[in-house]
Amino acid sequence: MKMTRHLLMTALSVCAMGAFANPLAKTECIAPAKPGGGFDLTCKLAQSALQDGKVISDPMRVTYMPGGIGAVAYNTIVAQRPDAASTIVAFSGGSLLNLAQGKFGRYTENDVRWLAAVGTDYGAVVVAESSPFKSLKEVMAAIKADPTKVVLGAGGTVGSQDWMKAALTARAGGVNPKTMRYVAFEGGGEALTALQGGHIHVFTGDAAESLQQRKAGAKIRILAVMHDKRLPGDLASVPTAAEEGFPVEWPIVRGFYVGPKVSDADYKVWADAFAKVLATPAYDKLRDERGLFPMALTGAPIDAYVKKQVEGYRKLAEEFGLSTKPAN
């Protein structure tokens, strides 16, 4: 009898330890920025999806860690919290572009475990409603005729993804990106205000973000989207840049990674959890409400996607004369 009781207590103890070790208990999402904005949106999307999908029981805690479009958070996870199994960190296409340019210090895309992509946006070319430009072709014709007469602007300095969208579009139109007039703003909202005020002529931003601003009352017109096919819904009437004769694609992925020393078992628990919720109609609704387009990758597929994107960004940065750092 005593032996039976002892075995039972041991079994219960092992189960309790297993429950305690569950990476989906007491979860945390690090948003590498101040509250508000894309990283916050990404964490709160995971927070809602995982809890509504009954994958986690306790609400996910969102922690803010601003700095370098993800650099501070990346360095913290790799160097200080590499085995934090209950912590996921949000990343974006901008994070990957910065990684490609060596802006995350000595770390590269090989220093974390890429977990999931939960949605994406796409680059867009936007003008004010009062603009004489009615198409991307007209914008590019004007820039080609005299690059000093057309002022482009967006939320990011030279080398940022918004600048890169402008540079790629200029290059596709046969214009040397070094000759284009580009004004950097603190964020997309500030750039859109400048666009409507006539201080810049063209905004290279994000499609869904621009659509939401237009619905909120912004006097703007979306001329083209940077995707290989037209986007659904309210943007279905907007041509792709390629349709206008400028084959530029710019996806803006949203997703998560975990520390490099998170175990294979814990990584699989997270990957399976995301795979489960991403496949549900309820998640589609949550994603749509946040203005993101479908992109669902977990495990090995997201790892392969990230490595391919960073390598492509690294080549682009070299082509545009921006500093880069080779992969390990």
In terms of domains, do 226 and 258 share one? no
User: Does 266 fall in a domain?
Assistant: yes
pLDDT level of residue 12 (50, 70, 90 thresholds)? very low
Instruction: Please report whether residue 326 resides in a domain.
Output: no
C-alpha count within 13 angstroms, C-beta hemisphere, residue 264: 1
CATH of residue 50's domain is 3.40.190.150
pLDDT band at residue 323 under the 50/70/90 scheme: low
pLDDT at 258 over 90: yes
Mean pLDDT rounded to a whole number for the chain: 89
Q: What pTM was computed for the model?
A: 0.81
Domain containing residue 115: 25-120+251-319
What pLDDT does residue 158 have?
86
- Judge whether 315 lies within some domain: yes
Strands (DSSP E) contained in the chain are: 28-31, 61-64, 87-92, 113-128, 151-154, 181-184, 202-206, 220-225, 251-258, 297-298
User: Higher model confidence: residue 33 or residue 311?
Assistant: 311
What is the C-alpha to C-alpha distance for residues 57 and 24, in angstroms, rounded to an integer? 8
Give the total number of structural domains in the chain: 2
For residue range 275-304, what is the model confidence (pLDDT) as tens digits? 999 999 999 999 998 889 999 999 999 999
Cα angle, residue 144 at apex, residues 143 and 146 outer, rounded to 5°: 65
pLDDT tens for 199-256 read 999 999 889 888 888 988 999 999 999 999 999 888 999 999 999 999 999 999 999 9
Other beta carbons within 10 Å of 133: 19
Tokens 């994000």 sit on residue: 206
Give the pLDDT of residue 118. 98
Phi and psi angles of residue 224, each rounded to the nearest 5 degrees, phi first:
-160, 155
Any domain includes 147: yes
Helix (DSSP H) and strand (DSSP E) numbers for the chain: 11, 10
| Phi/psi at 30 (5° precision) | -90, 120
Domain assignment present for residue 327? The answer is no
Q: Where are the alpha helices (DSSP H) in 22-109?
A: 38-52, 71-79, 93-100
Nearest alpha-carbon partner for 70 in 37, 26, 39, 28: 39
- Is 105 contained in some domain? yes
The answer to whether 323 and 125 have CB atoms below 8 angstroms apart is no
User: Is 60 exceeded by the pLDDT of residue 97?
Assistant: yes
What does the pLDDT average to over 172-184? 90
